[in-house]
């Protein structure tokens, strides 16, 4: 923010979107009441070190850096500001005196300061205690999508080279005759609703959605410094992590990176739907990852997280809640959090229709984790909990697994059994060759046969020295000689 811009603010009276506060060496006690009110109303600028009449008083030069740090820390403290909203204040010098400028955007969520809702008028901040007024504020916020925020200085040259061509490839694989495929880059973006004009202000340009979908890493971090997706594995070391992926790139690449991380650390199981052999891991977790990306409230400073534990996968996502509490998959009405991002992911085939994620996870999870059900909790942080079984104990690398499968198939070929059984055994040992544990109960749905049939298969593999019982009751694993292959 330039000195000229701050001087322009100093020439204006306090009002709906401007507040002056004295702050020589300490933050004003009511600072976050104003932050809360700006977030709930129309956003605005707060200048610290200025009297109510616009006279520049300044902030203590020694204390300025500490006050900046305190503002950032407090803005991330849910006891004071809930939901939290990360602020990025800056020091500006005017006439030899230091001022602190806090730019507060309009939020799509309803915020509370010390458990009280504040709103803003031309006369200043005021508490909302009337339940009807609070409900009206929630209703107004529900129609506000921060993804539509216009960035008039964002240019097509700020997009990652080749990213739109990648998007076209995904669209083409889903629909070779899609009308977007024939459009040049700028027209494709306009047609997808990612370039807008605000007819109240006359402002026009690419939106936050466009920046998140196509922007270079540098551009995205400039617009949303807090943006990141944190993927962790906490199995051997649950207090810290065994593996970590810190994602700060565009949403198209972020989706691929998350799916690769999941494929690296989670078992795959196959399911026969008709005559088609399907990957349950891909079906379930493409929905989980898409939900993490498509339905996030991106103006919230909390990072999105995907954590793989020994018995479950959890995701946390900043959210604009509608229901508050656990979602009943059989009785909920889905609504879009970021309609334009969702629409673009739909055209690429990364998601199905609205609400399909909860339904698909609910329908397919019993085949992936028998006897288990997923949890979807709609609060200020949307949480998904997916139970998983058979975490990889041996950590067999993919290259080794491929060689191992070929050797095990040779062993199966030696067996004096029907060819149809050999064919099924080859598929079964391919699942064990990644180092995972499996049970007859959880494997039987993948092959469309009974648990008893799978049990007879395992007996054959036990007698052949390919499998052995695991120390986890009811589960089997590769025999010792193949575990050290």
CATH code of the domain covering residue 418? 1.10.10.10
Crossing angle of helices 419-432 and 398-413, in 10° steps, is 160
262-280 tens-digit pLDDT: 988 887 777 777 777 788 8
* CA quadruple 392, 396, 397, 401: dihedral sign: negative
> If you search the block for the tokens 């036990």, which residue do you land on?
462
Q: Is the pTM of this model over 0.75?
A: no
Domain co-membership, 280 together with 340: yes
Which tokens go with 270? 């196959």
Domain co-membership, 312 together with 382: yes
- Among residues 144, 159, 175, which one ends one of the domains? 144
> If you search the block for the tokens 């506000």, which residue do you land on?
144
DSSP string, 426-449: HHHHHHHTTT--EEHHHHHHHHTS
Query: At residue 302, what are phi and psi to the nearest 5 degrees?
Result: -70, 130
In this predicted structure, what is the pLDDT of residue 377? 86
Contact present, 253 and 350 (Cβ < 8 Å): no
Q: What residue numbers bound the domain in which 365 lies?
A: 145-389
CATH of the domain at 259: 3.30.565.60
| CA 129 centroid distance within chain | 33
185-243 tens-digit pLDDT: 998 998 888 888 876 678 899 999 999 999 999 999 999 988 999 999 887 677 788 88
Q: Could you tell me if residue 115 is left (phi over 0), alpha (psi between -120 and 50 degrees) or otherwise beta? A: left
- Among residues 91, 113, 144, which one ends one of the domains? 144
In the chain, helix, strand, coil percent, each to 5? 40, 20, 40
Query: At residue 273, what are phi and psi to the nearest 5 degrees?
Result: -110, 100
> If you search the block for the tokens 């610290």, which residue do you land on?
48
Domain co-membership, 98 together with 177: no
> What burial class does residue 468 get, using C-beta atoms within 10 Å of its C-beta: 0-12 exposed, 13-18 middle, 19+ buried?
middle
In this predicted structure, what is the pLDDT of residue 203? 85
Domain co-membership, 300 together with 443: no
Which residues on adjacent β-strands are paired with residue 33? none
Domain co-membership, 364 together with 410: no
Q: What is the dihedral of CA 212, 381, 243, 160, to 10 degrees?
A: 0
Domain co-membership, 433 together with 300: no
Domain count for the chain, please give it. 3
Contact present, 438 and 431 (Cβ < 8 Å): yes
The C-alpha angle with vertex 182 and arms to 177 and 186, in degrees rounded to 5, equals 135
CATH of the domain at 27: 3.30.950.30
Give every residue of the chain whose pLDDT is below 50, as ranges: 1
> Measured between alpha carbons, how far is residue 195 from residues 46, 150, 160, 187, 221 in Å?
29, 8, 17, 9, 20
Domain co-membership, 206 together with 355: yes
Domain co-membership, 383 together with 283: yes
- Among residues 98, 123, 144, which one ends one of the domains? 144
Which tokens go with 195? 């370039």
In this predicted structure, what is the pLDDT of residue 143? 62
234-256 tens-digit pLDDT: 876 777 888 899 999 999 999 99
Domain co-membership, 153 together with 137: no
In this predicted structure, what is the pLDDT of residue 198? 75
Domain co-membership, 410 together with 354: no
Contact present, 248 and 275 (Cβ < 8 Å): no
In this predicted structure, what is the pLDDT of residue 244? 93
Own/partner contacts of 444-453, CB < 8 Å, gap of 24 or more, are 445/271, 445/366, 445/367, 445/370, 446/269, 446/270, 446/271, 446/272, 446/280, 446/367, 447/270, 447/272, 448/272, 449/424
Domain co-membership, 74 together with 163: no
In this predicted structure, what is the pLDDT of residue 1? 46
Give the closest residue to 484 by CA, choosing from 436, 437, 435: 435
The C-alpha angle with vertex 149 and arms to 287 and 341, in degrees rounded to 5, equals 20
DSSP-based three-state secondary structure for 3:
helix
| CA 66 centroid distance within chain | 32
* CA quadruple 185, 188, 194, 198: dihedral sign: positive
Domain co-membership, 384 together with 403: no
Sheet holding 438-439, edge to edge: 438-439, 475-478, 467-469
Which tokens go with 399? 């290259």
């Amino acid at each position: 923010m330039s000195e000229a811009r701050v001087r322009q603010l100093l020439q204006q009276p306090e009002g709906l979107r401007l507040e002056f506060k004295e702050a020589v060496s300490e933050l004003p006690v009511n600072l976050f009441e104003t932050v809360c009110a700006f977030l709930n109303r129309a956003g605005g600028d707060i200048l610290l070190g200025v009297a109510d009449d616009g006279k520049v008083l300044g902030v203590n030069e020694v204390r300025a850096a500490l006050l900046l740090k305190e503002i950032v820390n407090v803005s991330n403290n849910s006891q004071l500001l809930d939901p939290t909203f990360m602020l990025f204040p800056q020091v500006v010098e005017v006439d030899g005196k230091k001022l602190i400028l806090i730019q507060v955007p309009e939020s799509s969520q309803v915020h509370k300061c010390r458990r009280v809702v504040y709103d803003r008028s031309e006369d200043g901040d005021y508490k909302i205690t009337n339940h009807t007024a609070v409900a009206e504020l929630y209703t107004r916020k529900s129609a506000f999508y921060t993804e539509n925020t216009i960035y008039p200085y964002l240019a097509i040259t700020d997009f990652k080279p080749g990213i739109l061509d990648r998007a076209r490839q995904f669209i083409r694989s889903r629909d070779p005759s899609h009308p977007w495929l024939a459009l040049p880059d700028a027209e494709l973006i306009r047609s997808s609703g990612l370039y807008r004009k605000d007819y109240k202000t006359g402002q026009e340009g690419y939106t936050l959605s466009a920046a998140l979908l196509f922007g270079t890493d540098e551009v995205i971090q400039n617009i949303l410094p807090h943006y990141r997706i944190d993927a962790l594995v906490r199995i051997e070391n649950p207090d810290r992590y065994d593996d970590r992926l810190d994602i700060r790139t565009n949403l198209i690449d972020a989706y691929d990176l998350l799916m690769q991380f999941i494929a690296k650390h989670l078992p795959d199981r196959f399911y026969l739907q008709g005559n088609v052999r399907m990957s349950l891991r891909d079906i379930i977790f493409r929905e989980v990852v898409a939900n993490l990306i498509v339905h996030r409230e991106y103006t919230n400073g909390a990072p999105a997280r995907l954590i793989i534990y020994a018995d479950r996968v959890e995701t946390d996502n900043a959210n604009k809640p509608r229901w508050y509490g656990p979602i009943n998959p059989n009785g909920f009405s889905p609504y879009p959090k970021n309609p334009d991002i969702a629409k673009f992911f739909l055209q690429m085939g990364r998601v199905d229709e609205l609400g399909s994620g909860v339904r698909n996870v609910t329908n397919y999870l019993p085949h992936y984790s028998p006897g288990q059900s997923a949890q979807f909790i709609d609060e200020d942080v949307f949480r998904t909990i997916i139970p998983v079984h058979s975490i990889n104990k041996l950590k067999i690398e993919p290259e080794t697994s491929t060689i191992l499968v070929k050797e095990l198939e040779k062993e199966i070929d030696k067996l004096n059994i029907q060819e149809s059984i050999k064919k099924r055994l080859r598929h079964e040992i391919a699942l064990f060759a990644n180092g995972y544990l499996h049970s007859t109960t959880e494997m039987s749905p993948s092959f469309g046969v009974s648990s008893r049939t799978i049990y007879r298969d395992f007996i054959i593999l036990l007698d052949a020295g390919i499998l052995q019982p695991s120390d986890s009751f009811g589960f089997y694993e590769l025999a010792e000689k193949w575990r050290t292959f």
